[in-house]
Every structure is written in C-alpha cells, then in structure tokens.
Amino acid sequence: MDIFLQQIINGLVQGSIYALVALGYTMVYGIMGLINFAHGEVVMIGTLVTITVAGSLIKAGMPVALAGLAGLMAAVLVCMALGWALERVAYRPLRNAPRLTPLITAIGMSIVLQNLAMMIWGRNYLTFPALLPKIDFEFAGANFTAIQIIIVLVSAATMGGLLLLVYRTKLGMAMRATAQNPAVASLMGVNINRVIAAAFVIGSALGAVAGVMVGAYYEIAHYQMGFMLGLKAFTAAVLGGIGNLAGAMLGGILLGIIEALGAGYIGDLTGGFLGSHYQDIFAFVVLIVVLMFKPSGLFGEKTGDRA
Amino acid sequence: MKKGQFFRSMPGIGLAAALLIALPFVAALGGQAWVRILDFAILYVFLALGLNIVVGLAGLLDLGYIAFYAVGAYTWALLASPHFGLHWPIWAILPLGAGLACFAGVLLGSPTLKLRGDYLAIVTLGFGEIVRIFLNNLNAPINVTNGPQGITLIDPVSFGAFKFSGATQILGVSLSGPQKYYFLLVALAILVIIINVRLQNSRVGRAWQAIREDEIAAKAIGINTRNLKLLAFAMGASFGGVAGGIFSAMQGFVSPESFSLIESIMILAMVVLGGMGHIPGVILGAVLLTVLPEVLRYGVGPLQMAVFGKMLVDPESLRMLIFGLALVLVMRFKPAGLWPSPERQRELQETGK
C-alpha cells in the first residue's frame, strides 16, 4: 500500500509538470490547429536559462531563494520572447499554407533551438543549483519532499491563473472566439494576429515555469531534455483531447500517475519479465488504447473531417 | 515537346541511365565515403517513396514510419548474423522482413482507422517509440535484440557466391562494396518508382487520393475506406521493411539508435519538402536532405577555418543548425514543397495565396 501511495505522489508531481507543458501545446492547437513541435525546446531553454542566471547570482552572493526567483523570472521572459519569435518567424508566414508545412518548419525550429542550446551550454549535463533546502515529509508510509509540494502547488496556481485569464478576461474571450472561428472573430473586431501571438507567449511562459520545475526536481539538465518531455506532454494533451484546457491538465496528471504506477508495478505484473525501463511505453500504450475507444481524447470534442 | 516528355524519349532515358551509371565512379573520386552517402541517398529515396504512399497518396499522417524500417532491419540482423548463428539467404529474409513489416503496418493501421489527422499522427508516433523501446530493452531476460549495443557482423547481401561487400572485378572494372550496393539500390529504387507511378494512376491510387481529399465523400461513392487505408499502411510498411533489410546488410550493424523518432521525422520532411504526392519532388527531397547534411559536415569546419582562422563554434552543431534553418526557409518560401505536382500548385494559386 505504501508503494502505491508513493507512486501516486510521484506521479502527481510528474503529472503536474506534464500538464503545464501540455497546456502550451493545447493552447496553440486549440487556436491554430497546429502542433508546435518546438515547444519542448522552449521548456528546455527555460531550464538552462534558470541554471545560468540563478547559478551565477548564487555565486555572486545573493540569497538562494531570491536568486531562484530571479532565475524563474529570467526564464519566463526569455521563453516568452522565444515563443513570440517562433510564431513570427516560423508560423505566421505559413498560416494559409498546406497543413503539413508548418509541421516541418516547427521541426526545423526545434532542430535550430536544440543546436543553439548546445552551442551556448555545451553537450554535458548541467547541475541545477539547489534552490530549496531538502526537507522530507512522511505521510502514511510514503515520503515526499518540499520540492514536490511546491511543484504541485505552483502548477495548480499557474493553471488556475490560466483558467481565469481564458474565461474571465477580454483577451481570453478573444482567444475562445478565435478558436471557434477565426474569420468571424476577426469580423467582430478581434485582432487575430495578437491573439495567436498571445497564445504562443502564454504557452511559452507556462513552459518556462515547467522547465524550472523539471530542473529543480531532477537537479540536472541537458540540451536534449526537451524532446522526450515535449513528446510526453503532447501525448498528455492528446489524451485529454487536444485543444481543451481542462483536458490537458487532467491528461497530464493522469499520464504522470499511470507512468509512475506502471513503472512501480510492471515487474510484479509480468513476473519480472519486463522491468521499469519500459516506463516510457505506458504513455503511448495508454494513448493508443484510449484513442481506440475515444478517437478525440477523453474530453475532446469531435474533430472535423479534414485530415 | 511537352514538359516531362524528355525523360520518356529514348535519348532522355539513355542520358539518365548514363548519368546514374557514372555517378558512383565520379563520387569515388572524392573517396568511398561519398559513394556510401550516395547509397544512403538512394535508400532514403526508397523509404520516402514508401512513405509517400501513406502520406502523399492516402493522406494518412504517419510519424512512426521508421518502425517498419526497424522491423525489416532487425529481421535481417537476427536471421543473418552470428547473434543466433543463423545465416539465411536473401530470398528468405527479404520477403520475410517485408511480410513482418506489412503485418506491423496492419497492426498499427487497424486500431487507428477511426482516427483523423493529428490524432493519427500522435498514435503512429507512439507506435514508433514503442518499437524502439522494445528493441532497446529486449536483451533481458532472453537476449533477443542485444539491447542498446545492437547486433554486429551482419551478413552482407549475397546472391550465391557473389557478395556485395568488398571489391570485385567485373568485366575488367573494379567495383568497391558501396558501388555494388549502389547499383542494387538503384535497381530497387527504379522498381519502387515504377510501382509508385503505376499505383498513382490505378484504381486503388485514385481511391486513395479520394480518401485524402474527403473521406466521407469517398465512402459515399462506394470506396471501401477501411480496406484501402489498411492497404496503404501495409504497402508503405512493406517498402520500409525491404529498405530496412538492405540497410542492415549494408551497414553490417544495427542498433535501436538508428530508429529514433527523428528519423521518422526526417523521412516525412523529405516527402513534404520535396512536394508531397509528387514522385519527382519526393525523390528530390530525399536526395537533398541526405546529401545536404553531409556536404555541410565536410564544408562547415574548413569554411570556418578559412574565414575566421579558427573554430568558433562546434562544426557538428553548426551543421545541424544550418540544416534546421534550411528546413524553415524552404517551407517559408515554397510552402507546397520544392517541386510540387502541377495540380497542387494550381490549387494553391487558386485559393489566392
């Protein structure tokens, strides 16, 4: 039972990170119908920027908590700029192009960002500065750390903020209108270009927060880390029904928990035949099974016919 | 003479054949490495044309195509290497590899028939990753794939006593291993081009294109969309399986690393960048995307030395950076691909973009 609880906690933490990244995919997809393949790299750059900024500030003698906050701010700003630039360079000129064209530019941008990061930060694994004291808690036989609690709280708060933005502000209303029908929305006076740019910028900011949390959680970072994370998060977004904000959040958390439970129990279930290194398979198997029965995700609306 | 007619005339075919025959000898002047690059370019033409059936003709976005290539490659590697001590002949392995890949294609295709567009893309992507993870981990408790180390000492392609590795003398001309593979691959590529052309204008091909344009309308006019979609997956996959087998024999080594998602994406990029659904465009895309990174590999380092007198940035990452930028720029200025089919070109112009 304690293993079960432990894995649920681990899964919840991992899942809230997935959820934050998944929101970036789902916002862009909901509004433009486009998979932003470069989003994982934005997250990675968020982590690496924090390492540089927070690391050097700590070295300069700044209190750790303040340096961490500065690192987070820097990451958010850099990623927002990056998201804006991505939309401007790689997506806006292709808004009316054939459907697969922006997919290829997205992949191109993802290659560019990864190699830029390698030029700046090198090929080696980087250690994430210890921003929080290591405090362990125990609850019903399961252990968890302060950092895990903070990750869950911060992502919950961020997601709450996003929901408020989308459902309570004018910009949010414009976003929802654009998602439903860009042409009509623009006739109603919505500035489509600004709405789409906003979706990219906000998504990237969420990605930056997620990036900092990944770094703080695993304590290492690498220029290739964005790829798998992005893939999982995208899977989470599709699982929940892509384009649906609540779906992305639930999909992310669900995916995290399934993965953690899967990794914890696969050895017992298969009599030791398959080990926990098959962890990455769960995400995809669950995805395929869910889509077989619910072809547009758990909470997705029916998609159009066009492939 | 109408456009495109030239290569159907006798002198045109003669010229093209002469060029194709001369190419590996010209490339050999720059070293065997270039012949090998040429081999890969043609292997990718083969793969890209296989994927073109699925994506270009039937309009099913497949991001896990490399899985079928992997199935073919591992079939060859397991049945013709010291790993299990088996050395089956090509006549047995290549059809078996194609058959297994075909089976994998149907396996992937059947649960995904209901899915559309991007949902299909992510499921195929997941399928590709599942195959790769299994290849990576099936070394315990029973060692099937030898895990991340991969399988070495794989038999080369051979017909009886005639081996494709090492140099031989044929009619007084010395042919190196890669040059022999080149001719084998060209023969296979021509075969797949003919199949593609024939398919495109056949009843099946037209049905696929109807499904691509509007699935519901296609169904309404009596096209069996389920069977045809499965057929597209199966055919594309079999081509992938054959290519994988040849790859494995040519390299003499396979490991799961060769079958990562980025490879699937590269093949898709070849199809889209060249001009989706248009055979000459796809060939161009495949050759360009194989040769460009290699040219950059040899060009970027010396160029930096010449301009700045020292290595400013790591040439390996600079080369990929330029490659990524090239992808973005081509798509930015030629959204329908470098060499789209005339109909596609017209459609884009008519919609006024």
Instruction: Give yes or no for residue B244 having a pLDDT over 70.
Output: yes
User: Hey, what are B269's tokens?
Assistant: 């990029």
What are the start-end ranges of the E strands in A102-259?
A: 126-127, 136-139, 142-145, 220-221
The pLDDT of B189-214, averaged and rounded, is 89
Cα–Cα distance measured from residue A295 to residue A299, given in angstroms and rounded to the nearest whole number: 10
pLDDT for the residue numbered A172? 93
Is the distance from CB of B117 to CB of A307 less than 8 angstroms? yes
* Residue with more model confidence, A161 or B339: A161
Least confident of A72-76, A220-224, A266-270, B198-202: A266-270
Question: What pLDDT score does A300 carry?
Answer: 72
* pLDDT band at residue B340 under the 50/70/90 scheme: confident
**Angle at Cα A109 formed by Cα A175 and Cα A306, nearest 5°?**
55
Q: What is the per-residue pLDDT for A305?
A: 40
- In the predicted structure, residue A302 carries a pLDDT above the cut 60: no
Of B330 and A99, more confident: B330
pLDDT(A236) > 80: yes
Burial A17-44 (b: 16+ CB within 10 A, else e): bbbbbbbbbbbbbbbbbbbbbbbbbbbb
Q: Tell me: the pLDDT tens digits for B175-198?
A: 777 888 888 899 888 988 888 888
Summarised one tens digit per residue, pLDDT across range B79-107 is: 888 878 778 888 888 899 999 999 999 98
pLDDT higher for A178 or B307?
A178
Mean pLDDT over A137-159 rounds to 86
Is pLDDT above 60 for A238? yes
User: Percent of chain A at pLDDT above 70?
Assistant: 94
Residue B209 buriedness (CB in 10 A; 0-12 / 13-18 / 19+): middle
Chain B environment of A292 (Cβ under 8 Å): 111-112, 114
**Rounded to the nearest 10 degrees, what angle do helices B66-79 and B225-251 cross at?**
50
| Nearest chain B CA: its distance from A67 CA (Å) | 30
Residue A306 has a pLDDT of 38
pLDDT at A197 over 90: yes
Residue B7 confidence (pLDDT): 60
Contact at CB, A108 and B328, closer than 8 angstroms: yes
Contact B261 A102 (CB under 8 A): no
Total domains present in chain B: 1
DSSP 8-state code for residue A301: P
Is the model's pLDDT at A307 over the cut of 70? Answer: no
Residue A272: pLDDT band (50, 70, 90) is low
| Span between the terminal Cα atoms of chain A, in Å | 45
Higher pLDDT, B142 or B61: B61
Contact B215 A307 (CB under 8 A): yes
Average pLDDT, chain A: 87
Alpha helices in B145-220 (DSSP H): 177-201, 203-213, 215-220
Task: Please tell me the predicted confidence (pLDDT) of residue B242.
Answer: 92
Residue B124 belongs to some domain of the structure? yes
Among A109, A275, A287, select the one facing B122 at the smallest CB separation: A287
Q: Give the lowest-confidence range in A286-290, B55-59, B138-142, B238-242.
A: B138-142
Token pair, residue A173, equals: 């209303």
Query: B106-161, pLDDT tens digit by residue?
Result: 988 888 887 877 788 888 888 898 899 888 888 776 777 887 888 888 888 877 66
User: Among B86, B78, B85, which Cα is nearest to B245's?
Assistant: B78
What is the average pLDDT across B46-62? 89
What φ, ψ does residue A125 adopt, rounded to 5°?
A: -70, 140
Question: Residue B79's closest CA among B238, B236, B235, B248?
Answer: B248
Residue A18 has pLDDT above 90, yes or no: yes
Closest CA of chain A from B335, distance in Å = 6
CA distance B246 to chain A (A): 28
Question: Where do the structural domains in chain A lie, given as residue ranges?
Answer: 13-226
For residues A190 and A170, what is the distance between their CA atoms, to the nearest angstrom?
Answer: 10
- Whether residue B141 is preceded by a cis peptide bond, meaning omega within 30 degrees of 0, is yes
- Pick the residue from chain A with its C-alpha nearest to B124: A288
Report the distance separating Cα B70 and Cα B258, nearest Å: 8
A1: pLDDT strictly greater than 70? no
Q: Mean pLDDT throughout A115-119?
A: 91
Q: What is the pTM of this model?
A: 0.86
pLDDT at position A203: 94
Say yes or no for a CB contact (<8 Å) between B321 and A238.
no
CA distance A232 to A216: 19
Which pLDDT band, with edges at 50, 70 and 90, does A304 fall under? very low
Q: What is the mean pLDDT of residues A131-147?
A: 78
Q: What is the DSSP string of A114-134?
A: HHHHHHHH-SS-EEPP--S--
Residue B78's domain spans which residues? 14-277
In this predicted structure, what is the pLDDT of residue B5? 57
pLDDT given for residue A274 in this prediction: 67
Q: How far is B177 from chain A (nearest CA, A)?
A: 33
Give contacts of B55 with chain A, Cβ < 8 Å: 100
Mean per-residue pLDDT, B267-290:
88
Q: Are B138 and A274 in contact (CB under 8 A)?
A: no
Residue B273 within a domain: yes
User: Does B299 map to a domain?
Assistant: no
From chain A, pick out residues whose CB is under 8 angstroms from the CB of B261.
Answer: 231
Angle between helices B177-201 and B10-29 (to 10 degrees): 150
Average pLDDT score, chain B? 83
Judge whether B207 and B218 are in contact, CB under 8 Å.
yes
| pLDDT, mean of residues B5-16 | 70
Contact B120 A307 (CB under 8 A): yes
Q: Does residue B321 sit within a domain? A: no
A-B contacts (CB, under 8 Å):
153
- Residue B350 is predicted with a pLDDT of 62
Least confident interval from A26-35, A112-121, B173-182, B333-342: B173-182
Q: What is the pLDDT of residues A247-270, one digit of tens each?
A: 999 999 999 999 888 887 776 766
Dihedrals φ, ψ of B170, to 5°?
-125, 120
B211's CB contacts (< 8 A; 6+ apart) are B58, B59, B218, B223, B225, B228, B229
Residue B323 lies in a domain: no
CB contact under 8 A, B119 and A109: no
Contact A303 B116 (CB under 8 A): yes
